[in-house]
Amino acid sequence: MTYEEKDDGQLVTLIVESDRAALEALYGRYSAPIFSLAMNMLRDQGAAEEVTQDVFFNVWRRAASYREQRGKVTSWLFSIAHHRSIDEVRRRRRQQTHVQFGVDLSNRPSTDGVDPVEYATSRSDSGIRYLAVRQRPPGQGPVHAQARAARRRSAGLFQGADSHGNSEAAGPAAWHGQDEDPPGAEKNEGGPGP
């Protein structure tokens, strides 16, 4: 009798005895429907393929745990696939919760002296300043000096860079007497100035 002629229970019995050909026969029968279940749950081909492989890896490792009295082999296989797919969905949700309110705390600098709340606040403030600059009415002059001063104060949290990634060394303090104004310097256009 060939492996294709054996029923599912006989194949599992052979898998318990480490018969690889029996696993291949079971895989040939059920890999497509298990992949389909995982694909419907995950909507991601790569993840569905991974779940399918994990199911048959678990069958190979734990074939002795199958009990015919508890149900058919197909029910056992689909139960493993269903639970593995749910685990994958939960893992993805955990990854998504690392990013909240537009601040990805998983990318926070590993500097122990930086408080996570301060870091998140500075990133939020940086975003607010960016939006304020982008939403200025046309023809309005440079950003107010207080906004620049706040940006320079928060630059310490970004290891010497301002909120745009520019190094402090390239700022006004490093500018040495050239004909044009240093980057970020205020231009007084006849308005009140300091």
pTM here is: 0.52
d(CA 2, CA 25): 10
The pLDDT value given to residue 67 = 94
**Identity of the residue numbered 67:** R
Tell me which of 147 and 16 has the higher pLDDT.
16
Mean pLDDT in the chain?
A: 75
User: What is the C-alpha to C-alpha distance for residues 122 and 126, in angstroms, rounded to an integer?
Assistant: 6
Tokens of 70: 């508890």
pLDDT in tens, 23-78: 999 999 999 999 999 999 999 999 999 999 999 999 999 999 999 999 999 999 99
Better-scored residue on pLDDT, 85 or 173? 85
Phi/psi region, residue 192 (left: phi>0; alpha: psi -120 to 50; beta: rest), is: beta
How many Cβ atoms sit within 10 Å of the Cβ of residue 109? 11
Indicate if 7 and 78 belong to the same structural domain.
yes
Residue 123 has pLDDT above 50, yes or no: yes
Contacts of 124 (CB under 8 A, 6+ apart): 101, 102, 103
> For residue 152, what pLDDT is reported?
61
Tokens at 179, concatenated:
């004909």
Per the structure, the complete domain to which residue 56 belongs is given by: 3-96
Overall number of domains in the chain: 2
- What's the burial of 10, exposed, middle or buried (CB within 10 Å: 0-12/13-18/19+)? middle
User: Are 157 and 92 contained in the same domain?
Assistant: no
pLDDT value for 64: 95
92 plus 30 within the same structural domain: yes
pLDDT at 174 over 50: no
CATH code for the domain in which residue 24 is found: 1.10.1740.10
- The last residue of one of the domains, among 96, 119, 136, is 96
